[in-house]
Structures are given as structure tokens and as C-alpha cells.
Amino acid sequence: MGRRARTRRAATTAALLAAALTVSLAAGCTGTNRPGPVDDGRGPGETHDGGQSADDGQDPAESGLAGESVLAVKIDNVRAARPHTGTDSADIIYAEQVEGGLSRLMAVYATKLPKVIGPVRSARESDLELLRQFDNPTLTFSGAQGKLMPLINKAPLNPQTPGKTSGAYFRGTEKPAPHNLYLRPARLMPAAPGADALTTGFTYGTAPSGGKKDTSETVRYPAATYSFTWSSSRDRYLVSMDGTPAITTGGKRIAPATVVVQYVKIRKSDFYDFLGNNTPYTETVGSGKAKVLRGGKAYNVDWEREKATDGTTFTTSGGDPVNFAKGQVWVLFVKA
């Protein structure tokens, strides 16, 4: 499916990238790591279907929707937005730097859909390049800076915002706005599309040879910290954010099987938030170095993504593919 998807998308690549490069942008949106931050005014403030609990206790819907693409959800990740809901069901979690040195997540779902996902926040320009590897992905987000929306609407994806999809979103009762907007994915997709929709270039299987014992790894952004501690009993990495264990609203510890620290170029974009902070642009097309964590070991590898419609390959110094462990994958984009 990945090859077919890339072929269908290739015809529009040049025009879309040209449009993105020629638009002049001036403002943006952000969050803060202080309790109860002020809303940036660009996310929807209305409640859809009434305030409700965001508990994700219901079992996720399994795969079975052949031919469809992934669901990508922008996740708020300031302190006031935690704990998250439904992120333990994601196949991939991407972490990127945003305004003020904070971070935001993108959760990608293909093999199962939880009952509820969130809190949902706004999109960024970098998301468009990252999502080009998928065939017409559904992107759910709470809004975006006004001059970014035309680029989102022209991109080869299916944007779904609260204003566009009545009933798919609701405001929870346990967090203050704007950190209480949640998504019911079943209102957008009848079932998960399945693993074939994950056209990421990732390979899964036996661990590569070599590696160095590494049972604890910390990734730092200017104003956010992630820690990954290997649990041999669970055969997973236990995630902590800003020094606090990452647990979902359903009480589950977030525990990926593989963690990738991908060193990339992070540059200034043409966007600024309402406080005047520049929105960083994370370049995910190109090549560079990465560190892959699996099985309590760290592997220093190379990454490459030749063009936006490609997935990303991870290889050893000898050019052999670096397999990931079966289970959730975290990819953290860090400034090279």
C-alpha cells in the first residue's frame, strides 16, 4: 500500500510545496507549562455534546478498514493538559518542539482506535511535511494560525476540526479550557485502517547486532523534558514527562517498545504566536543521525527520508535496516 500511496500523491507534490514556500506567514499559537494558562484564542471554545469525563476505559476498536489511511491527532502536552487520554493506543507518537521551547505530540493511529483521544490542540506547519508520508491521512486538531489554514486546506490530507465535524469533539470536565478538548475517533472512522496504512518506512523484527546497554535516557527541549526508563519485566520503556510518570486518564503507564531520538534541523518558520514567539519548523526530510532504544540497549544509527512522500529509513553504519520492536514507537525530533 505504501508504494501505491506515494504514487498517487506524487503528482501534487511540486505544486503544494511551491505554494507552501511562497506564502508569507506572520502569527501563531502556543501554550505554557504554568497551571491554567491563557488560551491563545485560536482553538474552539464551545462545548460539543456537553462536558464529559475523558476516561479512556473502553477497549479500543481493532483494525479492519482496508484502504483507509491513518488518524493523526495533535496532542496538547503542557503540564495542565496531562494526563493524556488514549495515547497508549497509538502506533506512533511524534514529539516536536514548539513555541517557547515547549513540546507538542502527534499521535498516529492505524491498528486500533481508543474510545477517546486528547486533549486536542492546534496544528503546526511542520505537520504537513511529516504527514506527507501517509496517503490522505485524517488530521484532527483544534485550529491553527489563520495564515496556516490555507496551507492545511490545500495539503493532501483530510483536516477535521471541531467546527467542521459536529459531534466528534467534546469538552471534558476535569481540566480547564483550552486543555479539555477531546476527540471521539469513531465519529470520524468506523474502524482502524490497519497496519498497512503505516507507510513510515519503519521495519520491525530482530534487534540489530551490537548496541550499548542503556536503561535510562533523557531528552531535553528548552522547556520540556522526556525520560525513558527500561523495564525488563514489561519489556518496555516507561515514559516520564518533566519528571512525572506519564500515565493515561485510564491509569495506564505509557510504555513504548521502541524509542527513536532523531537529530534534525530545527529552524525558524514565518509564524509567530500571539506573544511574539517564533514557531520552530522541524525538518523531517533529509538525513542525519539518530539513536534507537530497544531492549535496554542504544543503537547509534543513520536516518534518511529523501522526499516528503517517502517514509524514513533507519540503518546501521553498514547500511543494514535497523528493526524496531513490535509495539508502540516514540520518535522525538531533537535539534542536531
CB–CB of 305/294 below 8 Å? no
CB–CB of 298/322 below 8 Å? no
pLDDT band for position 75 (50/70/90)? very high
Percent of the chain topping pLDDT 90: 72
Find the DSSP H helices in the chain: 2-22, 125-131, 149-154
- Give the model's pLDDT for residue 22: 35
CB–CB of 196/1 below 8 Å? yes
**CB contact set of 95 (below 8 Å; sequence gap of 6+):** 77, 103, 104, 105, 219, 226, 330, 331, 332, 333
pLDDT band for position 140 (50/70/90)? very high
- Give the model's pLDDT for residue 36: 30
Query: Which region, left, alpha or beta, applies to residue 235 given φ > 0 means left and ψ of -120 to 50 means alpha?
Result: left
Q: What is the pLDDT of residues 27-61, one digit of tens each?
A: 334 333 333 333 332 333 344 444 566 766 555 65
CB–CB of 121/104 below 8 Å? yes
Q: What is the pLDDT of residues 282-324, one digit of tens each?
A: 999 999 999 999 999 999 999 999 999 999 999 999 999 999 9
Q: In what order do the strands lie in the sheet with 216-221?
A: 216-221, 224-231, 236-241, 244-245
- Give the model's pLDDT for residue 62: 52
CB–CB of 101/266 below 8 Å? no
Residue 228 has pLDDT above 60, yes or no: yes
Residue 70 has pLDDT above 80, yes or no: yes
Torsion of CA 87, 90, 96, 102, to 10 degrees: 0
For the ranges 23-27, 80-84, 183-187, which has the lowest average pLDDT? Answer: 23-27
Residue of 286, 36, 327, 25 whose CA lies nearest to 198 = 327
Task: Output the nine-digit C-alpha cell for 322.
Answer: 535497523
d(CA 56, CA 75): 15
Task: Show the beta-strand stretches assigned E in 254-306.
Answer: 258-272, 278-283, 286-294, 297-305
- Give the model's pLDDT for residue 143: 83
d(CA 336, CA 330): 18
Return the higher-pLDDT residue of 99 and 277. Answer: 99
Q: What is the pLDDT of residues 239-264, one digit of tens each?
A: 999 999 999 999 999 999 999 999 99
CB–CB of 148/271 below 8 Å? yes
Residue 83 has pLDDT above 60, yes or no: yes
- Give the model's pLDDT for residue 269: 82
pTM of the model: 0.83
Pairing mode of beta strands 138-140, 71-75: parallel
pLDDT band for position 146 (50/70/90)? confident
d(CA 149, CA 50): 27
**CB contact set of 103 (below 8 Å; sequence gap of 6+):** 77, 95, 96, 97, 221, 224, 226
For the ranges 11-25, 185-199, 288-302, which has the lowest average pLDDT? Answer: 11-25
What phi and psi, each to the nearest 5 degrees, are found at residue 59? -60, 145
* H or E element, residue 229: strand 224-231
Indicate the average pLDDT of the chain: 84
pLDDT (mean) for 56-83: 77
Residue 105 has pLDDT above 80, yes or no: yes
